[in-house]
Structure 1
Amino acid sequence: MKFSPFFLLVIAIVLSQSLFIIDAFKIPNRLNSISKSRDFKVKYFHQKVDHFSYSNNDTFEQRYLISTEHWQPDGPIWFYAGNEGDIFTFANNTGFMWDNAQDFHAMIIFMEHRYYGTSMPYGKKSLQNLSFSGYLTVEQALADYADFIADIKRTIVGAKKSPVIVIGGSYGGMLASWFRIKYPHLCVGALAASAPVLQFPGIYNCNGYSHIVTEDFKNYSPKCSQSIRQSWNAIRRIAKTDDGLKFLSNQFELCEQLTTQQLQSFIDWITDIWQTLPMIDYPNPSDFLAKLPAYPIKMVCQYLTEPDADDRQLIMNIAKGVSVYTNYSGNTECNQISENNDRLGISAWSFQACTEMVLPLCTNGVNDMFEPEPWIFNDFSDDCRERYAVGSERYKALIMFGGKHIGHTATNIIFSNGLRDPWSAGGILETLSDTLIAIKIPGACHHEDLRSQGPNDPKVLLKAREQELEIIRGWLQTYYNDNQIEFKF
């Protein structure tokens, strides 16, 4: 069974793409740096490997970024719940926190998720086998954040009474909401952007993601989505001959000559690109999963105007569309269909997707523009058992965190979703109570509200950010009033 992309998150992660497992092209490594205008320090926290037993006393160094440039004693702490990738990826793409910290006199912290970036409990052996990788769980990650927040409030002078707002996008948004549910005494609220907390077996239609992807392309042009729909059979027909395989290799600028045995991987690679683009079809140029222009799908669709063209012409057009994602910068020498995106921790996320982050994704070829591919839990779990010697726990996240049934206990969580984001199909789109607030953002993509404000941001996106800030301001003011703390922001 093909492991379809996440989410990375995806990406993401997470960052998965934030939640996807991505086959990607060669890209330069731009990690480990943040805009020079942002004042921050890189530090490490001495963290427990296992928070829930006394049989393993191992520790590791967990990386985090901290900025106190605008913070004042008793001021709020904005804590980003790191997700599936190097923490610099998320720090560079969460301008919402940097842009607004000064107005709130807030401390900013981005904490790296265990088993990602440099925060590897057992170094290069961390994912070698279950004796090492078995500590990669949501529960352990949340406990990491809890211990760290408690320590920060003990050790930084003036932070003891600082209220904490937990923020995250995609899988990080899921963590932010779950942290508020699990540790409400350690934070006053959470902003969970593009968090597919309802995308689990039993409560989710697995075709939801692919349907939104198709609609995103179709809304630019029906000929665009139809060209992609027609391309799969065209690729398979062309690939029947050696000359056709050479043609495909040349058109898509592959690093190695395509073989018959690689055909499905090649089709999966193209599929993943189409399934990734709607997450990041932002109104401003971006550099999250790849260097892209504003509204990259619009540029892709400029090439996909002839769905009824002959096979080779159609595929030449498809290749031009793919190149918007793989080589908009012009710096990609060739495309490696088996190489992972270096910005996201694909190996670690693959393990999580197998164990407790079981997020069904399927296509049917009817309501979407892809080849039919069902999602069958037993097949999925068997494949996971073969890969990692552990089966999938389909209901674990729902049992632990409540799924739809959080309204009777949880409070102070914002669930924001861009309605063009495919992950919104698994998000909370309706307000559950006075303090569990859903913000729907028409036209927006994957945690777009967490990005820095850009010149092309539509009014509806600006309004959503203002609404989020106003809600957060209310949480903080209530905290200060209840604790009789005088703090102005």
Structure 2
Amino acid sequence: MKYLGSALVAAVCLSWAVQPGQSYPLDYYFETKLDHVAASQDNRTFMMRYVVEDKFYNDPVNVNKSRPILFYAGNEGDIYSFYNNSGFMTKTLAEQFGALIVFAEHRYFGQSFPFDRSVAFTAPYNTYLTVENTLEDYIQLLKTVKMTWGAEDKAVIAFGGSYGGMLAAWIRMRYPAEIQGALAASAPLVYFQGAKTAASGDFSEIVTADFNNTYEDGRCAKGIKEGFTYLMDLKTRDADWAELGEVFSVCEPFKSADDIQNLYYYLGNGLNYMAMTDYPYPSSFLQPMPAWPITEACKAFADVAPQEPEPKNGSLGALSEREKTVLTALKSLSDVYFNYTNATECTNYNDTEASGSLDAEGWNVLACNQLAMPIDFGSADSMFITELFNETQYAEDCFTKYGLNPYYSWALDQFGGADFQKDFYDYSNIIFSNGELDPWRAGGVYKFVQFDLPFYVIRGGAHHLDLREPMPEDKETNVGWVRDQETQLIEQWINEYQSRVAAEKITFVQ
């Protein structure tokens, strides 16, 4: 996304719309403190939403099962959107274990705002949107849920995808007595300043590889790079802006070079999101897309042989034939993300986020405070225009817009990860999964630490594919095998905890 006017960065999480015609579990509200961590006594509270599905937990058929709590650590979006896209947890595992399903909505998202939305993300109201407060919200909520549903002696397994996966891992790390295990899917836990394993340019390199692999000669990624190069050249060719607008069917005529730059951000972020959601079946997240959307999109360059860009370098006149060919193909390619169902009449290049239903503003606050990720775009092999993360400019933008100063190493200082193979060694019972196709794999845990911290890279998998409901098309990946391993580990953690609880009860009776 166009991140506070600086670099092209795709947001960490996808927020999905609730699907019509489907039934959903009831939501509830929990009173939580506004500030859990301040030294001074601040007794203000607000109502936080959560969702509970108890049909398997209360089913008499499951009375002899372990009946754990499977807890989703909500991230930046409406909580039902995450419920709707976590079928492995809500259906497969819930039925197998007779589990109580709990989804917690993250403060400052969905319906869980402590202040009016019109001011919530501005200073000083935004200062309570922190990871520490969020984790404590979840721990206090679980206490209430356990009492309400008579589950005080049940194991709790945390789940989450993307930023939610980070929260799932962190809540296990910080509260191991309350959380017996965690599945952290596609969680960029170490994509922070100072981490040795997360190169700042790897995100864009993975996106490029996803597009590059559709043809042996790499014509898709090369064509995209050529098209982006032409856009940069066209910033100084105002006489050609009208024709460029016709190629991209823009909603508003281009009036400045900044508008052309915004078109680049808009297109680039759309391609980032396409890479993140490159699933083997049709899906409707930020936008409706077909199965394997990158393969489908790259058909636009099937007849466009790769060659070096031929920019006109500021000279006036009509678009060259090569420019028209490449830019038309780029428009057709991007339509697979932006307009696959032909529901959009024009290109709104001012929507530089290109995120559809994504809750971006709250994430911006989190990033400007504790979770800034210094991601670079562009290299000799990248399809993106070179744009390096500017720490000084980013900090200035954060302060100007939100009154916040980024703490770039906050996550590493709190939980470790500068060298995760060393720093994470004493943690346990956390599964780290990443998709081979997912650009956020660059900031994930993808190397061996120790046996109690298993990691999996899903072949042919995109952003937290393993959390989604199992589908027949999954056979084109190895996510089925990964889910089997995850299930066995989660069952082991649950049984170990329940055995300890049973032993303690026997000891107490004696």
Q: Same fold (TM over 0.5)?
A: yes
Aligned equivalent of 2:111: 118
> How big is the shift at 1:91?
1.4
Alignment of 1:272-287 (within 5 A): 272-287=269-284
Please, which of 454, 460, 469 is the counterpart of residue 443 of structure 1? 460
Equivalent of residue 384 in structure 1, options 388, 398, 407: 398
Please name the residue that 1:62 is paired with.
48
Aligned to 2:34: 49
Q: Offset at 1:290?
A: 1.2
- Mapped pair 1:10 → 2:4: no
Aligned equivalents of 1:329, 1:167: Cα separation in 2: 33
The whole-number CA distance in structure 2 between the counterparts of 1:128 and 1:481 is 45
Of 261-270 and 124-133, more deviation after overlay is shown by 124-133
1:91 aligns with 2:83: yes
Counterpart position of 1:332 = 344
* Aligned-pair CA distance for 1:167: 0.1
Residue 300 of structure 2 contacts residue 333 of structure 2 at CA under 8 Å; is this kept in 1?
A: yes
Write the distance in 1 (CA, Å) between the matches of 2:425 and 2:444. Answer: 18
Determine the structure 2 residue equivalent to 1:177.
169
SS in 1 for 2:9: coil
1:53-88 Cα offsets, whole Å, 9 max, x none, are 343222111111210011147611111111111212
Query: Alpha-carbon deviation of 1:316?
Result: 0.6
Change (3 A) 1:128 1:188: closer
What is the correspondence of 1:234-249 to structure 2 with a 5 Å cutoff? 234-238=230-234, 240-242=236-238, 244-249=240-245
- Per the alignment, do residues 479 and 141 of structure 1 end up closer, same or farther by CA in structure 2, a change over 3 Å counting? same
Q: Is the 8 A contact 1:89 1:288 kept in 2?
A: no
Instruction: Mark the CA change 1:428 to 1:258 in structure 2 (over 3 Å): closer, same or farther.
Output: same
Q: How does 1:204-215 map onto structure 2 within 5 Å?
A: 204-215=198-209
Q: Hey, what does 1:40 align to over in structure 2?
A: 25
Cα deviation, residue 386, structure 1: 2.2
Counting matched residue pairs gives 466
1:440 & 1:94 partners in 2: Cα distance?
Answer: 18
Letter in 2 for 1:215: A
Q: Any idea what the Cα deviations from partners look like across 1:376-405, whole Å, max 9, x if unmatched?
A: 323322222222222110111101111114
Deviates more, 1:450-459 or 1:414-423: 450-459
For 2:270 and 2:19, how far apart are their aligned partners in 1? 26
Q: Equivalent of 1:364, from 371, 375, 378?
A: 378
Residue identity matched to 2:106: H
Aligned to 2:248: 252
- CA pair 427-60 structure 1, distance change in 2 beyond 3 A: same
Deviations 1:285-316 (A, max 9, x none): 11122111000000111002314470011101
Q: Distance in 1 between matches of 2:116 and 2:385?
A: 39
1:130 equivalent in alignment to 2:130: no
* Counterpart Cα distance in 1 of 2:53 and 2:481: 27
> Residues 228 and 264 of structure 2 are in contact (CA less than 8 Å); yes or no, is this contact kept in structure 1?
yes
Deviations 1:333-352 (A, max 9, x none): 33322335352221111111
CA contact (8 A) 2:287 2:356 kept: no
Question: Equivalents in 2 of 1:247, 1:227: separation in Å?
Answer: 20
Mapped contact 2:370–2:411 kept (Cα < 8 A): yes
Q: What is the percentage of aligned positions where both structures have the same residue?
A: 34
Aligned to 2:482: 464
| Deviation for aligned residue 1:125 | 4.0
Shift of 1:244: 2.6
Matching residue of 2:153: 161
**2:135 and 2:350 mapped to 1: Cα distance?**
32
CA distance in 2, matches of 1:455, 1:243: 52
State the distance in 1 between where 2:240 and 2:471 align: 44
SS state of the match for residue 51, structure 1?
coil
Aligned twin of 1:319:
331
How far is 1:355 from its partner?
1.4
Residue 350 (structure 1) aligns with: 364
- Cα distance in 2 for residues equivalent to 1:61 and 1:126: 17
SS at match of 1:78: strand
Distance in 2 between residues matched to 1:299 and 1:470, nearest whole Å: 36
Q: Deviations over 1:396-417 (max 9, x none)?
A: 1101111114434311000001
**Relative to 1, partners in 2 of residues 1:485 and 1:43: Cα closer, same or farther, differing over 3 Å?**
farther
Contact 2:6 2:394 in 1 (8 A): no
Structure 2 Cα separation of the partners of residues 190 and 199 of structure 1: 19
Q: Is 1:426 the counterpart of 2:443 in the alignment? A: yes
For 1:418, give the aligned amino acid.
Answer: G
**178, 187, 191: which one aligns with 2:183:** 191
Q: 1:265: Cα distance to partner?
A: 1.1
Distance in 2 (alpha carbons) for counterparts of 1:377 and 1:448: 32
Give 2:263's match in structure 1, choosing from 243, 261, 266.
266
For 2:118 and 2:105, the matched residues in 1 are separated by 18
> Cα distance 1:432–1:126, how it changes in 2: closer, same or farther (>3 A)?
farther
Post-superposition offset of 1:105: 0.3
Cα distance in 2 between the residues matched to 1:111 and 1:342? 23
Q: Partner amino acid for 1:473?
A: E
Q: Which moved more, 1:475-484 or 1:300-309?
A: 300-309
Deviation at 1:427, TM superposition (A): 0.5
Is contact 1:300-1:320 (8 Å) kept? yes
The corresponding residue for 1:414 is: 431
Equivalent residues of 1:181, 1:410 under 8 A apart: yes
* Structure 1 residue 174 displacement after superposition: 0.3
Residues 86 and 344, structure 1, Cα contact 8 Å, conserved in 2? no
Moved over 6 A (4+): none
Match of 1:290 in 2: 287
* 1:263 to partner: Cα distance: 1.4
Unaligned runs of 5+ residues in structure 1 are: 16-29
Q: 1:135–1:332: structure 2 CA closer, same or farther, 3 Å change rule? A: same
Structure 1 residue 242 displacement after superposition: 4.9
What residue in structure 2 maps to residue 231 of structure 1?
Answer: 227
Task: Please identify, of 195-204 and 165-174, the stretch whose mean Cα deviation from structure 2 is larger.
Answer: 195-204
Structure 1 residues 150 and 92, CA gap change in structure 2 (3 angstroms): same
Counterparts of 2:361 and 2:333 in 1: how far apart (Å)? 28
Inter-partner Cα distance in structure 1 for 2:165 and 2:112: 20
